[in-house]
């Protein structure tokens, strides 16, 4: 599994904060910066749809008198914060939990939410990827998987809202779903959208930069100028929602990335030399660009 540097630091420091490592481990480590306190925040967006932020991928929610729906579950501890915060907002059991993809900062709370949820839905490739990931991380006992999966599209009436899902092919992984609240005109992008932050490209899980780039353009074409997009992640302090323009900026990022790496390959430069660079035009983004992944994709035999 490839993690960018920031994700690794966050994981390590939260593990420390959670007391996962024993005292001897603590002394053996470099002094880690104190993890920022996790503050759970519910933010309404439009027409009963909103977001929940604590730690990990941005969650989405729909709360109506007749139906409650959740998108993603972050981690076990933050999904408990979500449950606690929901108590004052609804008494209903959640009709649906939708997973945008299998990564642990999006499905890590599935098991905590499971008793409160009637059905979990994800793309058909997501459960197998989640199982593989759980085996690798020895977290099999902490998982809950989708009860229902879809191949290309999926749709449900949820209270007075209509929610649909679409698969745009390989992108951040090979099992990313884009969820659309049709009446609210809000799209949850999961990690297909990373705002001002170098996105993680999970090639071992079937990611494709080339198709991700095309997908972003297709998503924007499928919606309109008034659509609000929810982003899986953003640079610290930057908004986790935005417009189609932001999606096209990420498309340009990938285009610039592939172009930069391909030029290096064509000029006969070594991988090492190419990987020292940054994505032209995106040096201000948070984290590290995954140029190695771009290199691997561009040099892979078909």
Name the residues that contact Zn ion, by CB under 5 A.
Answer: 103, 191
Contacts of 237 by beta carbon, 8 Å cutoff, 6+ apart: none
What is the smallest separation between the CB atom of 86 and Zn ion, expressed in angstroms?
23
Residue 6 CA to residue 53 CA, distance in Å, equals 18
In the bound state with Zn ion, the residue whose beta carbon lies nearer, of 55 and 103, is: 103
What is the smallest separation between the CB atom of 212 and Zn ion, expressed in angstroms?
12
Q: For residue 33, give the 3-state DSSP assignment.
A: coil
Assess contact for 158 and 96: CB atoms under 8 A.
Answer: yes
In the bound state with Zn ion, the residue whose beta carbon lies nearer, of 67 and 134, is: 134
In the bound state with Zn ion, the residue whose beta carbon lies nearer, of 191 and 246, is: 191
What is the smallest separation between the CB atom of 199 and Zn ion, expressed in angstroms?
9
Give the bridge partners for 94, in sequence order: 117
In the bound state with Zn ion, the residue whose beta carbon lies nearer, of 103 and 198, is: 103
What is the smallest separation between the CB atom of 172 and Zn ion, expressed in angstroms?
6
What is the smallest separation between the CB atom of 8 and Zn ion, expressed in angstroms?
14
Residue 175 CA to residue 154 CA, distance in Å, equals 14
The strand ranges marked E within 131-269 are: 148-150, 153-158, 161-166, 178-181, 186-188, 194-195, 228-230, 233-234, 241-242
In the bound state with Zn ion, the residue whose beta carbon lies nearer, of 48 and 110, is: 110
């Amino acid at each position: 599994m490839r993690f960018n540097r920031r994700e690794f630091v966050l994981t390590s420091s939260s593990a420390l904060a959670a007391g996962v490592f024993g005292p001897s481990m603590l002394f053996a480590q470099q002094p880690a910066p104190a993890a920022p306190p996790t503050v759970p925040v519910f933010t309404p967006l439009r027409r009963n749809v909103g977001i929940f932020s604590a730690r990990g991928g941005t969650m989405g929610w729909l709360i109506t008198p007749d139906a409650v729906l959740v998108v993603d579950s972050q981690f076990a501890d933050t999904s408990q914060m979500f449950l606690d915060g929901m108590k004052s907002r609804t008494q209903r059991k959640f009709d649906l939990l939708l997973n945008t993809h299998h990564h642990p900062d999006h499905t890590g709370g599935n098991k905590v939410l499971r008793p409160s949820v009637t059905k979990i839905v994800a793309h058909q490739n997501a459960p197998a990827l989640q199982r593989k990931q759980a085996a690798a991380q020895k977290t099999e006992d902490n998982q809950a998987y989708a009860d229902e999966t879809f191949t290309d599209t999926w749709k449900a009436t949820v209270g007075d809202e209509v929610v649909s899902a679409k698969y745009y092919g390989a992108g951040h992984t090979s099992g990313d779903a884009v969820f659309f609240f049709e009446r609210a005109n809000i799209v949850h992008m999961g990690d297909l959208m990373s705002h001002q932050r170098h996105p993680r490209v999970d090639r071992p899980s079937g990611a494709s930069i080339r198709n991700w780039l095309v997908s972003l353009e297709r998503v924007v074409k499928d919606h309109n100028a008034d659509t609000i997009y929810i982003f899986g992640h953003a640079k610290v302090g930057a908004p986790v929602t935005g417009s189609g323009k932001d999606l096209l900026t990420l498309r340009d990022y990938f285009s610039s990335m592939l172009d930069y790496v391909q030029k290096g390959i064509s000029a006969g430069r070594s991988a090492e030399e190419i990987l020292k660079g940054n994505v032209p035009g995106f040096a201000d983004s948070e984290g590290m660009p995954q140029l190695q992944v771009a290199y691997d994709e561009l040099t892979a035999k078909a």
